[in-house]
Amino acid sequence: MKAGSILCVVAAGAILVLGSAASAVNMETVPVGNIGNTDDTHSGGYGAVDYEYRIGRYEVTAGQYTEFLNAVAGTDTYGLYSSNMWSNFYGCKIERYAGSGTPGDPYEYQVAADWANRPVNFVSWGDAARFANWLHNDQRSGPQDLTTTEDGAYHLDGATSNPDLLAVSREGDWKWAVPTEDEWYKAAYHKNDGDTGHYFDYPTSSDTVPSNYLIDPDPGNNATFYDIPHGYTIGYPYYRT
């Protein structure tokens, strides 16, 4: 089952090429520096990255993924759309609402207005890699081929099975990509104090347990999560955060 979400990482400098006003999808990113930092030895050894990069400030939204689908999934050769996005109780409310999936009658997609800025879900790693390739290729429209989804940061060329996807690695000239565990961990936890092995206990730039309250003024150290006995941050439906 596809049940994941997507976060993107950008090679240092690539956003200057890709972040044009003409792009359908504009990804807000933040820089991650401190080249040569060491692993967090308390976590099992994650977080060391020896190059600068940028990472998405937010997860890829349902609205952004809908733009992607309308650009490259008219026939949806490699199944980038899951019906669970629309029909599942936990779906992100992207609907395939028109078309038969042929070149003459392509599929069309739309997202419920109040879900457009929520994270997309029911995506696989292969879907995320194809989304990254699409960004790498300047968000071109067309069938799922080497100019849109099948080459770029990852040479997929039709790979869909788990063994084939496990054999795929990031290309050296990547611009946009799916974060590695080290890239994500460093962006989330590193104390941003040089090439050190210093990491926060929580991904809120704090060693103190965060609260899950939405209050004004913002206390700073808070996050969206379930907390006994207070429940969820925003109430039902909590999975829309």
Q: In this predicted structure, what is the pLDDT of residue 86?
A: 98
Domain limits of the chain?
A: 1-199, 205-241
Q: In this predicted structure, what is the pLDDT of residue 23?
A: 66
Q: How many residues are present in the chain?
A: 241
Q: pLDDT band at 186, cuts 50/70/90? A: very high
Q: In this predicted structure, what is the pLDDT of residue 196?
A: 95
| Average of per-residue pLDDT across 151-170 | 97
Q: In this predicted structure, what is the pLDDT of residue 222?
A: 74
Structure tokens at 196: 């050190």
Distance CA 101, CA 185 (A): 39
Q: Is the pLDDT of residue 150 over 60?
A: yes
Structure tokens at 192: 């941003």
Helix (H) or strand (E) holding 136: helix 125-136
Q: In this predicted structure, what is the pLDDT of residue 3?
A: 61
Q: Is the pLDDT of residue 230 over 90?
A: no
Least confident of 2-11, 31-40, 80-89, 155-164: 2-11
Q: pLDDT band at 221, cuts 50/70/90? A: confident
Specify the residue for token string 């899951």: 82
The percent of residues in the chain predicted with pLDDT above 70, rounded, is 85
Type of residue numbered 70: N
**Is the pTM here over 0.75, yes or no?**
yes
Q: Is the pLDDT of residue 91 over 50?
A: yes
| Average of per-residue pLDDT across 162-167 | 97
Q: pLDDT band at 19, cuts 50/70/90? A: very low
Helix (H) or strand (E) holding 114: none
Residue 118, classified by CB atoms within 10 Å of its CB into exposed (0-12), middle (13-18) or buried (19+), is buried
